[in-house]
Structures are given as structure tokens and as C-alpha cells.
Amino acid sequence: MTNSNGIGGIGGGGLTVNNATQNQAALFFGHNWQITEKLNLDYGVRYESMHQKGSVRPNVANPQSSNPAYGGTDGDPLTVYDNADGAAGAPLPFNKTIHTFSYSAGLNYTINNQFSIYGRYSEGNKAPDLGVYFGANTAFANSTLNPQAQKIDQAEMGVKIREKNLTLFVTPFYSVLSHVPNVQTFTLADGVTSYSPPVLYEKVRTYGLELEANFNITQNFSVKGVGTLQNSKAANYRVWIANQPGAQDDAIMDYSGNRADNSPRLMLNVTPSYNVGKFFSFITWSYLGAREANVANAFQLPGFSQFNLGAGYDLTKKLQLSANINNLLNKYGVMSWSRPGTFLTSLDREGYTKSMYEADAKANTPYATIAIPPRAYFLTLTYKF
């Protein structure tokens, strides 16, 4: 099965060779202007130039690699370590420069010591990362490569309330995330060689409300809470569906109007704490609501709670002893997943439709998930010089 060194596979169907040089230059300016005693304006701008030059040299798999009778370099199909091989294809060069401009401005008006209001508008732009360029690994995708700067527009306004025992922040917000690159990976008809179809660019719209409060119930006991309610939709979202291996029947599916993936409607974080003298303690309850697994809304990742516990004691002014237990109840909270199938197939979560999920669920087909870390204990001794 393996070679003399115990290796079960060398290179597979070949490896795509990527190389690039990135040059980045940026200018930024920020200023805080106290217009009056009660009115403050802070603002900033940033200009950036990002140049990417390089090439993608896609692998070309040996067409015999998918033939069970092919024995590789030693002619023996039972020694599987060399049964798949490939060669580097012709280089596909790219040479692109992206210019971006971002800005943010916020006004804060203090009515009195207990009450203030504020508003902010921001537009941020980010040049695409190398994944967009390296994903153009076919002649067609390379010739049509048109990288776009990722853009986010966000507006928020809020109220700050400070009473004797209570601090409260109420912040409604609205954001639009656009020009989000969606790089997908499929397999050619040989079943070995991978390729990426042309990049599609997506837009997601979100509005919501964030609440943050800190309530001092007694001199020693307080409760801090943060909560977010939000509604996130795929305003313009298209994905490639691979269908059969090979690019000949690839099709675009439009999921615009569906709920955005990985965006729970509700997130909560509540921390009661008790401090007396040199002793301190807290317990944090966190809740992450159910989320759509992908923009196809094939199924939902379940919501879950997590508890973290901590306590400590100041032995001296410089020496502190503390103990923490994270994920106290050892909850298996699902954070991510991959679809059933081969390695390359599992990477294409956006192409996994609801009908595919229902068929796999009916057949009890397993799929992988990624969870939060299990219960962990920490004992820490801290010395401050």
C-alpha cells in the first residue's frame, strides 16, 4: 500500500503552483473636533493602493489516475502511493491594481451627564485577497478575471444612558456588505483535477439592534449584559452548481432573498460578577442562536448556550491567583460544517441544496461539523512587576 517510507500518497493528481508579489501603499487621516462643549465630531479617511502580480500554474492530472488498473510508476495497482500523478500546466498570469477609499464620521451630542445621543456612518473598502486570483485557475476564469474591492456601508445611531446604578447603550444599525467574492472549487470529468469557475460577487444586507447594559445591584454584585437582534438577508447572491464532474453543465443558482448564512437572529452574553475585598468571581452565559448553514438555506445549525466560570484572589498587590473553567457544562456547540462527499466536494457548501440535504438525511449520510472547544480548566498565577 505504501512506499518504503510509509507514505500512502505522493502528490495525488498533482498540485497547483501559485506565486504572487503584493505591493501595498496607504494614506490615512483622522481628526477629533470638539465643535461645542456638548457636540463632538470624529472622522477619518483612508486611501489604499494594492497591486497583485503573479501567476497560477494549474495541475493537469494524468488521465490514467482514475483507472483502477493503472499501476503508476511501478506498474503495480496494489501500491496505491503512486497510482495518481499529474503535471504542472501552462502558467496563467495576472497583474492587477485595486484602489480603495474608505471613510467614517460620527457625531456625539451630550444632553446632560446622564443622557447622550450619537450617530455614525462608515464606508469601508477592502482589496480582494490572493484567493480570488489563485481561484482563477482555468484559461476562461483567468481571461475574465475582474477583481472587485469588497465594500461595507454601515449606519448606526444610539442612545447612552447613565444612572446611579445603571449604564445602558441602545444602538440600532444597518449595514450592506457587497462585492463579496465567492470562490468555489469543483472537479473535472477525470475525477481528479480540480478547477474553480469564474468568481461571483455577492451582497448581504443586515439591520438590527444592539443592547449593552451594566447594572450594579449592590456594592459587590453587578450584572453586565450584551444582546444583538438582527435580520440578515442575501440581497444579491448567486452560486455555481457543479452537477456532474466537469465544467460543461455547471449552472448558476440565484439565492437572492434567502436568509444569509452564519448570521443568527439572536446573540446574548450575560455576566453576573461578585467582588468583595481581594476576592472576585464571575459566571458568563453566552447564547448563539440558530443559523442558516448556507445561503441555499439547506438546513440550520442549532443554537446553543455556553457557560464560563471564573474566580480569583489578590494574594498581594503584585501577585494574583485565578481559576477558570471554560464550557462548564461541556456543551457541543456547532460552529461550522462541511457537506458529505469527497474532500473537494465537502469544500463546496454553497452548492449544497435543500433537496440534497433531505436526500442525505433520508439515507443517514453523515457529514462533519466543527464545535466549540470542550470543557477546559485553567489555574493561573500572575505577577505584576
Residue 7 has pLDDT above 60, yes or no: no
φ/ψ (deg, to 5) at 356? -65, -45
So what's the pLDDT on residue 4?
Answer: 62
SS3 6: coil
Q: What is the mean pLDDT of the chain?
A: 90
CB atoms within 10 A of CB 147: 21
φ/ψ (deg, to 5) at 131? -60, -35
Same domain, 140 and 214: yes
Question: Residue holding cell 470542550?
Answer: 374
Query: What percent of the chain is predicted at pLDDT more than 90?
Result: 69
Same domain, 241 and 349: no
Q: Which of 195, 227, 260 is the C-terminal boundary of a domain?
A: 260
How many domains are there within the chain? 2
pLDDT single digits (tens) 166-178: 999 999 999 999 9
Same domain, 208 and 119: yes
Q: Given CA atoms 321, 327, 330, 336 in this order, what sign does their dihedral have?
A: negative
Residue in 280, 273, 300 with CA at minimum distance from that of residue 289: 300
Report yes or no on 80 lying in a domain: no
Residue 319 CA from chain centroid, whole number: 38
Q: Given CA atoms 217, 223, 226, 227 in this order, what sign does their dihedral have?
A: negative
- For residues 198 and 181, what is the distance between their CA atoms, to the nearest angstrom? 10
Q: Which residues contact 267 (CB under 8 A, 6 or more apart)?
A: 227, 228, 287, 288, 289
pLDDT single digits (tens) 253-267: 999 999 999 999 999
Domain residue limits at 328: 264-385
Same domain, 154 and 300: no
Q: Of the ranges 149-153, 228-232, 338-342, which one carries the lowest mean pLDDT score?
A: 338-342
CATH code where residue 227 lies: 2.40.170.20
- For residues 132 and 97, what is the distance between their CA atoms, to the nearest angstrom? 13
Residue in 207, 292, 301, 289 with CA at minimum distance from that of residue 258: 292
Same domain, 207 and 318: no
Extract the C-alpha cell encoding 314. Answer: 489578590
Same domain, 250 and 342: no
Same domain, 180 and 315: no
pLDDT single digits (tens) 180-212: 998 888 888 776 677 888 889 999 999 999 999
Same domain, 189 and 283: no
Same domain, 124 and 216: yes
Is-contact 268 284, C-beta < 8 A?
A: no
Same domain, 233 and 337: no
| Ramachandran area for residue 246 (φ above 0: left; ψ -120 to 50: alpha; else beta) | left
